[in-house]
Amino acid sequence: MNSEAPSPGSSVQVHVAAGLDYAFRDFVSIYVGNGEVVLEFGNAHRSMPGHLTIGDRIVLTLATGYDLQQRLQQALLEAQARLQAQMR
């Protein structure tokens, strides 16, 4: 059994878990170590300024971290272009 992630551009089937949870996060922390990228997502406390609660911690390989960075950059550029086109 091959446990490696599919290469970019390869064909894969994506399944979404029935109980998928959507959560709003207004804070992100990023740490890059030896061989891993750690993303922490959380929320600021509105009743206690200066306090944050981490709600999710996701650990990625460096390769997946680079892929995330490139895809996020491309998606943001595309969204910005659509927004600018709507404003014309």
Cα separation of 65 and 86, whole Å? 31
- pLDDT tens for residues 17-49? 999 989 999 999 999 999 999 999 999 998 999
The pLDDT of residue 87 is: 92
Q: Which residues contact 78 (CB under 8 A, 6 or more apart)?
A: none
Q: What is the pTM (predicted TM-score) of this model? A: 0.74
The sign of the CA dihedral 8, 11, 17, 18 is positive
